[in-house]
Structures are given as C-alpha cells and as structure tokens.
C-alpha cells in the first residue's frame, strides 16, 4: 500500500480521519481499511472516516463511514470538520455546499468552527413506550439525517448509556438499520446535556452532532423552548442548535460548533497490521 496522506480532526471530541480522495487514492477494500485504521491504540483511531471527493453539483461530496466500516448518511460533527478541511485546503470558500447520502449540506466556516444547515428533520414523535428487559421506557424519536431515539433523564451522569443504548440500538422496532440513542437532561432553560450511544461505533462517543440536534428538537417540543438551544456534550464541548418551528415540525435547522485540526500524517501498511 502506498502511503496515504490524511488529517485527523475532531468536533467537540467526535474524532475523524479525513482523506482528500479527489484523486482516488483510497484503497479498494474500504470496509477492511476503515476498520483497520479506526482501531484505537493499534492504529490512528477514530469514530469515523471521511473521504472528500469531487462532485459536479456541489463544491465537493463526501463518503462518510463509521469506525466499523459501515456507511452512514450523515454526521453533524463530521460535516463541520469536512467543511473546515475544505476551506483550509482551498476546495471551497467560507460558504459551501456539499453532497451527502442525506442530501445537500450548506456550511459556513467561522474561525475554528463551522455552522451547517441540516437536512430537514422528519418522523418526529414524542413520548412513545418501548418494552425493554428492565421494563417499559418512555422515549421520543426523530430522524436528523440518521435515526435517533431521545430519552430524558434526571441524572445524566448515571444514565445507562452503554447498556440501555445498546439494547435500544438493536431493538426489533428499529431493525434492520438500528438507531442511535441519546440520553438528555435539562440544565436550565435553553440548555441541555446529552450523552449518545452511536450506531456504527457501538459505544458512547464524546459527542454526536445529529444526536444533539435530535435532543434539542425533542426538548423544544416537550418543553416549549425557542431557538437556540445550547447542548453540552460528553467532552464538555458546547454545540448550538438553531431552528424555526413550522407547525408540528421544524425547518432551517443549523448545527454550530468547533471543528479542530489535530494533525496531518501518512497512513502506511503497518497502520492496518494486527
């Protein structure tokens, strides 16, 4: 394998390997490659991998992959990182449009962060009941580019993110694709805390952009809050969710937060070795 240049970035602790693949440098066996380089301690390690590619209808398009090699339609934190990567490398200007499996994403790079317009959310329902091993669980759900369940809790620190998150992620109701699972607690009016079990990572991550959007929109409905809503992630980073209400739904949903460069390097064959 020829060395592959890459950049490591993170958004509020959600970390990604980004490869400029406009010249087609990514290997053919993508799932194996992604699983190999996303392993923590044994390789670079990341929650996901992003390929930046050319597109006739946008400034660029991406392919986004979870750490397990599965492809995902959308990732809010990854989208902000991709936008800043594109701006810094001259692929796009301060404002841009790029293609994802969830649709066109509009982005604006602002300093060391970015603000992205999300695709319109859909399938929002609140206060349903789900049968779990430990009993009935009240939950809400919404698709913010990828599917999310939101559970409100009084104690975010002791929330069973890994155990219950995994059970809900694989619940028959959400098969076969599964769902991401967010635990949310109200901090004060206009501010919430969120912890997320991410499908494809199969564990809690330090932040999930689409999950924070989902939690904010559910909170707006359940508590009658207006835009914006500040969301504190597991990393301690704060994401800001902007939105407009439209009847029972939402439009003009934006996710704003940091998008940090960590380092640039090259992947060699040893990065994939067991």
Question: Could you tell me which residue, 27 or 248, shows the higher pLDDT?
Answer: 27
CA–CA gap between residue 72 and residue 200 (Å, rounded): 8
Topology alike, domains 4-118+260-272 and 122-254: yes
What would the CATH number be for the domain defined by 122-254?
A: 3.10.310.10
User: What per-residue confidence (pLDDT) applies to 248?
Assistant: 79
Query: Is the pLDDT at 274 greater than 70, yes or no?
Result: no
pLDDT digits (tens, 9 = 90+) for 43-53: 999 999 999 99
53 contacts: CB under 8 Å, gap ≥ 6? 21, 22, 60, 61, 62, 63
- With cut-offs at 50, 70 and 90, classify the pLDDT of residue 142: very high
Burial code (b: 16+ CB inside 10 Å, e: under 16) for 145-168 equals bbbbbbbbbeebeebebeebbbbb
Query: 4-118+260-272, what's its fold?
Result: Diaminopimelate Epimerase; Chain A, domain 1 (3.10.310)
User: What per-residue confidence (pLDDT) applies to 113?
Assistant: 97
Question: Could you tell me which residue, 173 or 246, shows the higher pLDDT?
Answer: 173
Q: Name the token pair of 166.
A: 């995994």
pLDDT digits (tens, 9 = 90+) for 199-208: 999 999 999 9
Residues annotated as part of the active site: 75, 208
Average pLDDT, the chain: 96
Give residue limits of the domains in the chain. 4-118+260-272, 122-254
């Amino acid at each position: 394998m020829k060395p592959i240049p890459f950049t490591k970035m993170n958004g509020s602790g959600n970390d990604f390997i980004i490869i400029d693949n406009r010249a087609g440098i990514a290997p053919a066996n993508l799932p194996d490659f992604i699983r190999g380089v996303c392993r923590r301690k044994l390789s670079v390690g990341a929650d996901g991998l992003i390929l930046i590619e050319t597109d006739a209808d946008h400034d660029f398009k991406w392919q986004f992959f979870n750490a397990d090699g599965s492809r995902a339609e959308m990732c809010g934190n990854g989208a902000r990182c991709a936008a800043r990567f594109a701006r810094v490398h001259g692929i796009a200007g301060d404002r841009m449009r790029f293609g994802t499996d969830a649709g066109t994403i509009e982005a604006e790079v602002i300093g060391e962060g970015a603000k992205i317009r999300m695709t319109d959310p859909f399938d929002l329902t609140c206060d349903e009941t789900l049968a779990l091993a430990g009993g009935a669980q009240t939950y809400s759900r919404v698709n913010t580019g990828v599917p999310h369940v939101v559970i409100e809790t009084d104690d975010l620190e002791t929330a069973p993110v890994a155990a219950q998150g995994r059970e809900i992620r694989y619940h028959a109701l959400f098969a076969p694709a599964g769902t991401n699972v967010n635990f949310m607690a109200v901090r004060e009016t206009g501010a919430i805390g969120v912890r997320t079990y991410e499908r494809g990572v199969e564990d809690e991550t330090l932040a999930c952009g689409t999950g924070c959007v989902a939690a904010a929109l559910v909170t707006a409905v359940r508590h009658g809050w207006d835009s914006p809503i500040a969301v504190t992630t597991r990393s301690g980073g704060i994401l800001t969710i902007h939105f407009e209400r439209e009847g029972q739904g939402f439009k003009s949903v934006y996710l704003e937060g940091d998008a940090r460069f960590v380092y640039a390097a090259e992947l060699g064959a040893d990065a994939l070795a067991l």
